[in-house]
Structure formats: C-alpha cells, structure tokens
Amino acid sequence: MYTELNLDLQAFAKRVYDSILYQSTFYNFLNMAYIGELRQTGAPVIEIAKTDDLEVNVRETKEIQSRLNPALVTYGRTVVDLTELNMDYSIRVPMMITGSDIANAIQDAADLEDAAIAEEIDEYGYGKLASANIEEKEWNPATKDDYINLLNSLKADLFNKKITRDYRIGLGATEYANFVSALTSILKFETPEGVRGVTMGEVAFIYGISAFEINDNVLDGVVGYFFNPIAVVGDTFMSAFVQHNNPQGFPGYTVLEGTVSFGAAVVKPTAILRLVEEVSA
C-alpha cells in the first residue's frame, strides 16, 4: 500500500473506512444498502426516497362494475446529514524510520486512530438512539427460559409490524455475558452455537436472531436494542486526506491528515425496540 513515504491516499482512506466498519458496533445498526462504499465525493448526505403505502381496492364481484380509481403514488423524502460528527484524522511518524519499518509505523499509528474514531462514532450513534422516539420493551430475564420467551416476544412484535426478517439484538457487555451463559446452557455442547458459546463466550446467531456485544459505557442506562437494520441510516464521509513530508513546524516527520465525518438517523422507528430493565410510565 505504501511506496517509500508516498501513500496511496485513496487506498489508505478505504483501509480506514473498512477498519471503522469492523470496529464500530454501531455500524451493526445501519441499513446495509447505504454502507460499504467509500464516500469522498458529492454532497455529504444520504437522501432516502420511499414510496408511501398504497391501498388495495377489494371488489365484491369478479367483474369490474364501476369506474376504477387508481391509487396515487406518493413519496416520502428523508435526508441524513453525514457531517453531524466531524473528526480530525491526524498521525505523525518520524522519517528516521526507514525501509519497511515506516509502513509498519504508519500502520500502527493508523490502527490506533481508527479505534479512536470508531469509539467516537459509537458514542455519537448510541446517543442518537437514546434520544430517538423509540418504543421501549422490558428486558429483565430471571431464568434461562425467560431469555427464550423474551426473544420470541420481540421477534413477534416486529413481525406483526411487517418486519419479517433480519432480526438483530445488541446487548451491553454485562448482559450479553449473561445472555450467552443462559443460551449456552440450553443449547448444550452438542450444537455449533453451544460450542461457540462455551469456547469463545459468544453466540452470534440463535433462533433466527443475530446477536452482538456493546460497550456498557455507551448505553447510558439502556440494556440494549432489538431491531432490523432498515431502522437506521447513516455512514462515514471522508474528505481532504493529504500527506506532508517535512511540513513546516514538524521537520523530520511524515504527517497524514484528513477529516472523517459521520451522521445517522432513525428513519423507521417501528423497526427498532429499546430494551430497558423497566419501561418508563
């Protein structure tokens, strides 16, 4: 990826983006139709145009006996601003590091910067979910069977709202550990997920639901969320990535800098449920 001290900035930005996708747990919430491709050009927004629901006319007879009244197709429009969170991407590496070591030094510094960016995105994203107008459901299981009953109840809730697939649950780290222990004791060691739960301490997919762990510190009193990713739209926008060798003020260094912006919005609140120990009155 590197040629001496001259970076392929396009490839570097793509590497940063892929790293953020991997490290940010909030990206699990985002509609996959709008992520995965590096955004560097054009307006830093995602525009969503959706056809509104249409009514179906039901006749009493097979024959058409009256004038047809075609339904008017209307559209809803939502614009998600990708510049609500703006972060500096800046790393500085001594030029005295030579040969392949310079590539390793830049890689190490970039890894640390990527992790910090992902943490900021998670802070922003979970704060966005906490302030959104989302239906709350009680999550306070006392027994192993309670976990199964709660999962089935949450699935039924979304299914009855015509959200019929791709169910996901994200739980805070402490509750996720309890969740894995409870399910593993039910699944036993004979099943692949049981083996994974015992040996790796995680249950990635169970009862048609993808599960993942969230840092407790970003949830702020919330146990977690049950959702389909059509609920949330957002992404990262990269801009102004440049490299400087021996820049003024930093002689003897290679400096790489740019701007990483992020934005997201809950666009379909019916497709996400906030899980709390006790539903507020």
Q: What is the pLDDT of residues 100-122, one digit of tens each?
A: 577 778 888 899 999 999 999 99
Please give the torsion angle defined by the CA atoms of residues 28, 111, 223 and 82, in that order, rounded to the nearest 10 degrees: -50
Helix and strand counts by DSSP (H, E) for the chain: 5, 13
Of 26-30, 89-93, 100-104, the poorest mean pLDDT is in 100-104
pLDDT (tens digit per residue) in 36-84 = 999 999 999 999 987 667 677 777 777 777 777 777 766 678 999 999 9
Sign of CA dihedral 135, 23, 90, 1: negative
Judged against a pLDDT cut of 90, whether residue 229 lies above it is answered with yes
Q: Three-state DSSP class for 227? A: strand
Does pLDDT of 195 surpass 80?
Answer: no
Residue (of 236, 243, 226) closest to 263 by Cα position:
236
**Which of the two residues, 247 and 29, has the higher pLDDT score?**
29
**Residues 200-225, mean pLDDT to the nearest whole number:** 85
Share of the chain above pLDDT 70, in %: 87
Question: What three-state secondary structure class fits 260?
Answer: strand
Q: What is the pTM of this model?
A: 0.86
User: What integer pLDDT is reported at residue 1 of this predicted model?
Assistant: 36
The angle subtended at Cα 35 by Cα 79 and Cα 28, nearest 5°, is: 105
- The mean pLDDT of 151-156, rounded to a whole number, is 96
In this predicted structure, which of 15-24, 66-75, 154-163 has the lowest mean pLDDT?
66-75
Distance (Å) of CA 121 to CA 223, 247, 260: 19, 30, 10
Cα 4 to Cα 98: distance, rounded to the nearest angstrom: 8
pLDDT at site 3: 37
| pLDDT for the residue numbered 183 | 81
What's the whole-number average pLDDT of the chain? 86
* Cα(223)–Cα(171) distance, integer angstroms: 6
Looking at residue 73, its pLDDT comes to 66
**What is the side-by-side strand order in the sheet with 209-214?**
135-138, 272-276, 224-227, 167-172, 209-214, 205-206
Q: pLDDT category, 202, cuts 50, 70, 90?
A: low
Cβ-based neighbours of 32, under 8 Å, separated by 6 or more: 229
